[in-house]
């Protein structure tokens, strides 16, 4: 039995980084304010004193430079964790990430590895307005050579981040703002969560809900309310958007015959459409209703707290969606 204690999502990220840096001297951290200040959310507070400035490096305010240094460091034998403070700023680093970091292994005939983790946050929840609250995960699942990870809980965040750091591929690790203060039991002992493996957060027989990031919390809350009405929802968290665990999703939909996909990111051109296609291709004979997608509105994110919540699906939307699938 593993010893467990309750920690927040933020503490889980911090522990994962700290443990991996102690385990492997090739792990370094680079980003804006990750050193002396200790990161926007305190992930690396005190790391400079523990690991030194050669391994915890404050960078200029240049996402292109940060990503470029990360690619070079990874190709040279290090395992860099580079931070882009908000996913909204990642567009400035897209050339380095997509045309270099994601491609070098292929272009070198497998001789060059790029074991880099790019860690960033996305989505709403902290009233950061339109330039600091977007959901761009849809962009990365389409890029050959990249792994895209999105945890929804402290337990998953720690295990997935540790596995990402040990992986030999460039990993885009996106944590949702809405869960930063969530708290749950997390093992003290070392553990990894394999990339590309989904998790059934709640078993059910009536509807399969495939949700990502903060939407997993909403889906679980909706499932609990629907349970009082005798409706059993199965909530699946893919945890890794690419590679996608298609088997786990198909297994659930074959059982329930109904599927809803819930994301903060807009539906247009998005990952939610990929999941819907997978379900249609593999579960068509089992489907009792077409796949339903609940996604963020394709709009700028408002600053007002109440308006911010209106642009992404909530518990009420999910409950209504489930009932429409059963109607």
- CB-based contact 57:36 (threshold 8 Å): no
Note if 132 is an active site residue: yes
**CA separation for the pair 230, 140 (Å, rounded):** 39
End-to-end CA gap in the chain: 44
Q: Which of 100, 105, 132, 218 is catalytic?
A: 132
The DSSP 8-state label assigned to residue 76 in this structure reads T
To which H or E segment does residue 5 belong? Answer: strand 4-8
DSSP letter, residue 230: T
Q: Is the alpha carbon torsion for 89, 90, 95, 97 positive or negative? A: positive
* Angle ∠(269,322,175) on CA atoms, nearest 5: 50
* DSSP codes of every residue in 83-124: E-SSGGGGGGGHIIIIIIITTHHHHTTT------EEEEEESS
Nearest to 263 by CA among 319, 215, 301, 300: 215
DSSP output for 147-214: EEE---SHHHHHHHHHHHHHSSS-EEEEEEGGGTT-EEEEESS-----TT--EEEE--SSEEEEE-TH
* 182 within 8 A of 117, measured Cβ to Cβ: no
Helix/strand number for the chain, H first, E second: 12, 14
Residues 293, 78: Cα–Cα separation, whole Å: 41
* Residues taking part in catalysis: 132
């Amino acid at each position: 039995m593993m010893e467990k204690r309750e920690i927040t999502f933020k503490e889980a990220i911090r522990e994962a980084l700290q443990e991996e840096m102690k385990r492997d001297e090739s792990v370094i951290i680079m980003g804006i304010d990750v050193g002396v200040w200790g990161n926007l959310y305190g992930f690396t507070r005190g790391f400079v004193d523990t690991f030194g400035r050669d391994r915890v490096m404050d960078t200029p305010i240049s996402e292109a430079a940060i990503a470029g240094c990360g690619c070079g460091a990874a190709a040279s034998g290090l395992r860099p964790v580079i931070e882009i403070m908000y996913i909204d700023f990642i567009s400035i680093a897209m050339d380095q990430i997509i045309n270099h970091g994601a491609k070098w292994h292929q272009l070198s005939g497998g001789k060059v590895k790029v074991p880099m983790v790019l860690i960033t946050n996305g989505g709403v929840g902290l009233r950061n307005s339109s330039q600091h609250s977007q959901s761009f995960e849809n962009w990365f699942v389409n890029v050959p050579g990249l792994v895209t990870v999105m945890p929804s809980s402290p337990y998953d965040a720690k295990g997935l981040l540790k596995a990402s750091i040990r992986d030999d591929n460039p990993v885009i690790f996106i944590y949702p703002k809405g869960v930063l203060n969530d708290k749950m039991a997390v093992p003290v002992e070392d553990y990894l969560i394999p990339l590309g493996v989904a998790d059934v957060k709640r078993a059910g027989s009536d509807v399969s809900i495939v949700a990502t990031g903060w939407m997993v919390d909403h889906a679980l809350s909706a499932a609990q309310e629907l349970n009082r009405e005798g409706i059993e929802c199965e909530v699946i968290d893919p945890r890794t958007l690419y590679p996608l665990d298609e088997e786990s999703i198909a297994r659930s939909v074959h059982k329930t015959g109904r599927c809803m996909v819930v994301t903060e990111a807009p539906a247009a051109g998005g990952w939610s459409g990929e999941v819907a296609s997978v379900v249609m291709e593999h579960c068509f004979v089992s489907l009792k209703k077409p796949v339903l997608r609940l996604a963020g509105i394709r709009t700028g994110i408002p600053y007002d707290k109440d308006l911010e919540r209106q642009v992404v699906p909530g518990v009420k939307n999910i409950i209504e969606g489930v009932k429409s699938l059963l109607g």
